[in-house]
Amino acid sequence: MQQQFKETLAEILEIIKYSNNREKFIKEFEAMNQLEAVTNIVERLPAAVRERIKMVSSGFSNPDSIRQRISPDEYNREVNKVAETELHKFIEVISPVLTLAQKQKVDKLIRQSLTIH
C-alpha cells in the first residue's frame, strides 16, 4: 500500500504541475502521516500504558522508538487510514485552483487507486 500511495501522490503532483522537489514533498507527507498514525494509536491506549510510553520514550525524539512498541499490523492499518484521509484533505485544499481537466484527472486517479485496494 505504501508504494501505491507514493505513486498516487507523485501522479497527483505531476497532474497539478507541482514545481518544487516532489520527492521531498512525498517524504515529508509520509513522515507527517506516520507521526499522526503513531499519535492516534498511542491516544487509543489506556491511560496507564500511555504514561508508561511517555516515561520510556521521553528521551527519544524519534517516533520509531515508540513504533517499535506497536503491532506492525495495527501501525500499517493506521498509516494507511491516515494517508487516505490526508490525501483527500490535500485534494480538497488544492481543488479550487485546479483546472477542470486537472480535477478530472485527479478524480479518475483517486477512483482507480481506491479500486486497487
For residue 83, give the nearest of 47, 35, 38, 30 by alpha carbon. Answer: 30
The predicted-structure confidence for 18-63, as pLDDT tens digits, reads as follows: 999 999 999 999 999 999 998 899 888 888 877 777 766 665 555 6
Q: Is the pLDDT of residue 116 over 60?
A: no
Amino acid letter, residue 69: R
Counted domains in the chain: 1
Please state the separation of Cα 95 from the chain's center in Å: 19
- Its domain, for residue 79, covers 2-116
Q: Report the largest interatomic distance among the alpha carbons of the chain, rounded to a whole angstrom.
A: 52
The predicted-structure confidence for 58-99, as pLDDT tens digits, reads as follows: 655 556 667 677 888 999 999 999 999 999 999 999 999 999
